[in-house]
Amino acid sequence: MALKAADTHGGNIHAVAMELGRRASSLLDFSASINPLGPSSKVRRLLAREAEGLIRHYPDPECGNLRRALASRWRLSPRHFVIGNGSIELIHLLPRVLQCRSALIVGPTFSEYGAALSLAGAQAQLLSARKRDGYRPPLDKAGKWIQSAARRAQGASAVFLCNPNSPTGQACEPGDLEELVRQAGQSGVWMILDETFMEYCESLSLLPVLHRYPRLIVLRSFTKFYGLPGLRIGYGVCAPSLAEVLRRHQPPWSVNGYAQAAAETAMNDRPYVRRSLAFMEAERERVSMRLSGIPGLRVFPSRANFLLLELPDLHQASGVAAVLRQQGLLVRDCSRVPGLTTRSIRVAIRTEPENDRMVVALRRLLGTGRDR
């Protein structure tokens, strides 16, 4: 299946506020999947305390402290790490630096992979998981594409895979995924693994085995789990030689001082990490059960901080999202995501009262239903 133009991102609360003539603070944004606990209190105190120095001086262009902290966390050399203005900077940088001519995107998934490949002049193909399989990533078919790419040998090839995936919430077992990475390496294909949501299921990460695979590139973000979307910071982990090339292709001072300091502090706040995990595990299950009580609404299981929903028959995602938007509730309309249906929406897990408000609104809109 050829890659089609994808939808826009969620989380543009400012545009919706202007459209509705309301303050952004009056809207509940379920379209952006950000940690509902907010940033670590240690991050808040740090930024308040160090504001003068962080504003008055240029940031470290090498992001040295953060790279060393990440290296210690993952037991790798700092040379493996490249810090970006959000992982999105690296997503757009990689196809150009790798000189990709062809790529496979395992979907349905994040639209920016296709956008980045298109801007780099690469031919991208979408391999979509099937609804009847619960949108489980089709790793076997991805392996066949890798074999085919190796036979063609017409320039660099790459596979983009998000794990756990957005917007489906599905995750790959590490053994199965590592076999695909091994196959890609043997075939000379780059494997770009986006682990933006991996903090919610860290045992599935391939970062601990990255040193075995020179063609594996893992992307991470401080946006989703650590609640720092406005600071724009993420990182890539790969072979030191590639990381050095990526750093050379970045603009000077790509990552600001606030972002660097906040990221290092957030990742070292272990009590905050434990609270975030405990809250999400319990609240995601609670919300899933409540939503499952709405007749005809399908709730897909998720390993991340959001849920993919398929609306009952006769309800379209665009219409439901529009009605909820008028009520100040923003959900992600996934009807234009290639590989999903016109009845697909994604909702982030927020605080308990906010989630209850969203469930009640959906129940009124879709049918009475009972809590299970």
pLDDT of residue 8: 54
Stretch 345-354: mean pLDDT, rounded?
Answer: 98
pLDDT of residue 248: 97
Backbone angles phi, psi at 247, to 5 degrees: -60, -35
Domain architecture of the chain: domains with CATH: 13-30+271-366 (3.90.1150.10), 57-268 (3.40.640.10)
Stretch 192-204: mean pLDDT, rounded?
Answer: 98
Residue 152 Cα to chain centre, angstroms = 31
pLDDT of residue 14: 87
- DSSP H helical ranges for the chain: 13-20, 41-49, 51-56, 64-74, 87-98, 112-119, 139-152, 174-186, 240-249, 257-267, 270-292, 317-326, 352-366
Q: Which residues of 14-42 are buried (b: 16+ CB within 10 A; e: fewer)?
A: eebbeeeeeeeeebbbbbbbbbbbebbee
Whether the predicted pLDDT of 339 surpasses 90: yes
Whether the predicted pLDDT of 5 surpasses 60: no
Provide the residue count of the chain: 372
Q: Is 59 in contact with 213 (CB distance < 8 Å)?
A: no
Whether the predicted pLDDT of 368 surpasses 70: no
The strands making up 344-348's β-sheet, listed across from edge to edge, are: 298-299, 306-310, 344-348, 332-333
Strands 332-333 and 344-348, bridge-based pairing: antiparallel
Stretch 101-119: mean pLDDT, rounded?
Answer: 97
pLDDT of residue 52: 94
Whether the predicted pLDDT of 7 surpasses 70: no
Stretch 315-319: mean pLDDT, rounded?
Answer: 97
State the pLDDT confidence band at 161, using cuts at 50, 70 and 90. very high
% of the chain at pLDDT higher than 90: 89
State the Cα–Cα distance between residues 229 and 232, nearest whole angstrom: 6
State the Cα–Cα distance between residues 340 and 23, nearest whole angstrom: 32
State the Cα–Cα distance between residues 159 and 146, nearest whole angstrom: 8
Contacts for 46 with CB less than 8 Å, ≥ 6 apart: 261, 262, 265
Give this prediction's pTM.
0.94
pLDDT of residue 302: 98
State the Cα–Cα distance between residues 198 and 359, nearest whole angstrom: 26
Residue written as token pair 């979307």: 229
State the pLDDT confidence band at 156, using cuts at 50, 70 and 90. confident
Contacts for 85 with CB less than 8 Å, ≥ 6 apart: 232, 233, 234, 254, 255, 259
Using one digit for the tens of pLDDT, what is the confidence trace for 279-300? 999 999 999 999 999 999 999 9
State the pLDDT confidence band at 173, using cuts at 50, 70 and 90. very high
How far lies 194's CA from each of 4, 37, 309, 313, 372, in Å? Answer: 20, 23, 22, 33, 34
State the Cα–Cα distance between residues 243 and 237, nearest whole angstrom: 7
Q: Is 228 in contact with 263 (CB distance < 8 Å)?
A: yes
Whether the predicted pLDDT of 272 surpasses 60: yes
Whether the predicted pLDDT of 340 surpasses 80: yes
Whether the predicted pLDDT of 23 surpasses 50: yes
Mean pLDDT computed over every residue of the chain: 94
State the pLDDT confidence band at 325, using cuts at 50, 70 and 90. very high
How far lies 146's CA from each of 129, 152, 173, 186, 190, in Å? Answer: 17, 10, 19, 10, 10
pLDDT of residue 159: 98
pLDDT of residue 33: 96
